Structure 1
């Protein structure tokens, strides 16, 4: 451990007893039995009737949120439920519709899906007055439409298209046509000296500035959506652009600055030459989904993206070796630190970074490597502590675990819970903790993760619900969540409600042509970072 005091060194997490475990313990169909050899199951039982009650409650939350959006915000990006109006923070093309359609399909809300597809078919992606984020527009809009297309031409085709026949067939076809239209409108952003795209732009301007910088998540989280578009259309240009940009992250030209730890990168990259400007990084904001997509691209196509798998393994192993740390007051917990360079580690975490547990579990499944599964489960349990320990039962936006930085009024809280509030104590309807619960349940089939997810839903329903939808809250350190902050994020539809629905309806989802989103080496679907499931490529 690079320069870390003994009290912060990584807890071995039970990994000692799994070193040398052969990967044959993991089968393609069921990993609950082998994992139970190392982590005894909780034994919690849930009856079918109770599962139905919970999925019905989550469906109701979706419909409540959608009704409020349609009444006060349609066709803007998101509902502002307190002020009863709409906001345009995500390109102004109706982000809540694009983000919400996949979840409505999985919930089989056919009336809502028809509304959404009729809207999508009419959007003019060649016109826009707002500043556009290439990253956000890719993961929300392009990802949402491609996912809906895959679902509605696959396991959900018959039920939806049977309602209106040819009319709905045309609406489904328009999803792919509109995806092409959007990509064609955005692709000029790649016209730089390196092929690394500019992060923000206006369509009317259509100029790029190669003197700008981009972040690794900003252009390292495009490859799945743009490659899927190429594979569906047979036009290689889209995937080629995203792949050319990401090549600068797969082989770093100045690793002394850009790769301070093996596989772990800096954050900002100059567009004009592809060189890193800093060594700061981690699995949190600005870098998170770059690491997430490395293993997901190998899941998507193990032939074309072998290098991506190798880079994920390198990053994952480096993280376990150098960045996994435990609070001095709670050595049973494990969090992943951030870094300023190879010798400067910050014991700081975030709700955003709590997706890591799920990503490790996915890696453990597809690589058949128990080390990643066990490490992922420990991260899930530790992030759950940030929920279970607060008066609101929801985790804060940021937190820390350096005992030297604990505020005086949080000394006892830190001693008991192993973390302290890190300055941002709001909850922004984020999905990452629930996302990791979902992966943990699917991998272990242990109903305790369903119970944790239900606890989270009840807390969110109690503190974030309004008469017109759901909103962000300002203070999770209060039982009531503090003030309601007047924004229903589009990813509330795409991620939080989807993962909640799936965790309680996994058996029902699998019954749809036996699909599964986290199956193992033979899985047929992979989530983008906005939780839009896309069909795995088969040559």
Structure 2
């Protein structure tokens, strides 16, 4: 081994250390039958008092109300609040993204006055008109997913929320959510009119021009099927799921696997709209690939009968990830953190990660629970620990946008930091109000019921509240390596409402989980809900 280059030695040593500690479960296909999860991953012993849990849930509700009040005063009806300059911005088609992204969380928090405001606005949106460039991916996960989710919630376990209001017209407003979902899908569906049936990712609504030689990425193709299928199931009109599933077929069965599938189930990134063939062999669980893998197992949750093939492809991707992309930082003494690398030029592994990719721990836990397979549960918890390290060891208490653990690429001013913590800041050191680490905490808590993950979520919230809170809302910050988070970058993302605050609230909302129909994944019970990638809960088929 010592004849190998230093980079190769470090990688080999890291893998050896990992497999020594993990062999007992990584090679097992049926650990669930052998022993409960705590036999492999012991409970921390941390237990929170009920009063403390309620206090934290109320604090998160206050953060939502603070953010919403600031948006309504300075940002409405534009897509998002720019809290430092006290104005609104349009980065998501200009249809009021924060309203639609925020309604599901307001329903779960049982804020009827806020929900009524949101419903009245949504009912008046004209989805046939848009002056801005539209992203099919973002519009699907935020707008279409947000409206369908609110419809499912308000006609299901939260049907009494609006009936308790003063205006009986609210009942009618709830049903406009489905009508508006159809209107939006009908306005967008022309984008699938390409030679291959793979949709055009960006377009201007008024021109309706399709360029057959353009490309799309696997997240842009594979993160439509849940929302469009749910719309078909609600309306009885199969056209929406047919469009999404036709595009998805190019990812389920790759036309040119020698380029597009460097590892079984793990794909390249970009696909040609003309013929559906892959154009490259790089990718991973980060940007432009992430939610494709996420939706494979979530479609199986949504309907195991129709989407068994999706689950099988997820298993392929998950097993390849564990076999080929697993990495442990080569520090002295050795780190015990597990990270997932990225691949480029086929099978070349880059030891770098991103905040976006930190949803992976939660996704493995979802897969482990659905498939009753302990190896995915254990691996998922290890990945949660790794992403937790980027928060716990950062001076701000928040993980950066990008990080790495390649001992040959450590910046000279971070060598001591890397040896101590097992990772280093990887260029982009800002925090954009992203939810992925907290999302994985949520799944870890649901699966283990270990209040350690609630404590980690609370610590993350306190750090975000300290660094990102402004007089009129919350904003992204420029430098997570600084205790104060650096410069406030003046943008309150709509997914702050949809994802961060929702996952935080659900982690601490014991009363709602106990007395309402259970939202999200509940181990040992038949599932009733699944989250889309924007954390909008969708009722399963």
TM range (shorter): over 0.9
Asked if the contact 1:365–1:521 (Cα under 8 Å) also holds between the matched residues in 2, the reply is: no
Match among 13, 22, 26 for residue 7 of structure 1: 13
When residues 13 and 226 of structure 1 are mapped into structure 2, their CA distance, relative to the original with a 3 A threshold, is farther
The corresponding residue for 1:142 is 144
1:90-149: per-residue Cα shift (whole Å, max 9, x none)? 010000001000000000001000000000000000011000000000000000000000
For structure 2, the residue ranges without an aligned partner over 5 or more in a row are 1-6
Q: Which moved more, 1:3-12 or 1:211-220?
A: 3-12
Q: Is 1:424 matched up with 2:428?
A: yes
Q: 1:40 deviation in Å? A: 1.3
Cα distance in 1 for partners of 2:32, 2:347 equals 37
Match among 57, 62, 65 for residue 63 of structure 1: 65
SS in 1 for 2:19: coil
Asked if the contact 1:216–1:286 (Cα under 8 Å) also holds between the matched residues in 2, the reply is: yes
SS in 2 for 1:405: coil
Asked if the contact 2:300–2:308 (Cα under 8 Å) also holds between the matched residues in 1, the reply is: yes
When residues 499 and 156 of structure 1 are mapped into structure 2, their CA distance, relative to the original with a 3 A threshold, is same
Which runs of structure 2 are paired with 1:37-436 in the superposition (5 Å)? 37-164=39-166, 166-329=168-331, 330-436=334-440
The corresponding residue for 1:522 is 526
SS in 2 for 1:50: helix
Cα distance in 2 for partners of 1:506, 1:258 equals 44
The corresponding residue for 2:483 is 479
Asked if the contact 1:517–1:533 (Cα under 8 Å) also holds between the matched residues in 2, the reply is: no
Cα distance in 1 for partners of 2:28, 2:410 equals 38
Query: Structure 2 length as normaliser, TM-score?
Result: 0.96
Cα distance in 2 for partners of 1:300, 1:14 equals 35
1:379-403: per-residue Cα shift (whole Å, max 9, x none)? 0001000000011010000011100
Q: Which moved more, 1:326-335 or 1:408-417?
A: 326-335
Q: CA RMSD in A?
A: 1.6
Cα distance in 2 for partners of 1:497, 1:91 equals 23
Asked if the contact 2:265–2:314 (Cα under 8 Å) also holds between the matched residues in 1, the reply is: yes
Q: 1:23 deviation in Å? A: 5.5
Asked if the contact 1:90–1:137 (Cα under 8 Å) also holds between the matched residues in 2, the reply is: yes
Asked if the contact 1:147–1:532 (Cα under 8 Å) also holds between the matched residues in 2, the reply is: yes
Cα distance in 2 for partners of 1:279, 1:433 equals 27
Query: Structure 1 length as normaliser, TM-score?
Result: 0.96
Cα distance in 1 for partners of 2:242, 2:437 equals 33
1:433-485: per-residue Cα shift (whole Å, max 9, x none)? 00000000000000000000000000000000000000000000000000000
Q: Is 1:451 matched up with 2:455?
A: yes
Cα distance in 1 for partners of 2:445, 2:234 equals 31
When residues 248 and 13 of structure 1 are mapped into structure 2, their CA distance, relative to the original with a 3 A threshold, is farther
Cα distance in 1 for partners of 2:364, 2:8 equals 25
Q: Which moved more, 1:307-316 or 1:42-51?
A: 42-51
Q: 1:24 deviation in Å? A: 5.1
Q: 1:21 deviation in Å? A: 6.8
Q: 1:63 deviation in Å? A: 0.3
The corresponding residue for 2:4 is none
Aligned length: 530
Q: 1:228 deviation in Å? A: 0.2
Q: 1:219 deviation in Å? A: 1.0
Cα distance in 2 for partners of 1:459, 1:404 equals 31
Q: Is 1:437 matched up with 2:441?
A: yes
Cα distance in 1 for partners of 2:119, 2:195 equals 38
The corresponding residue for 1:463 is 467
Asked if the contact 1:337–1:349 (Cα under 8 Å) also holds between the matched residues in 2, the reply is: yes
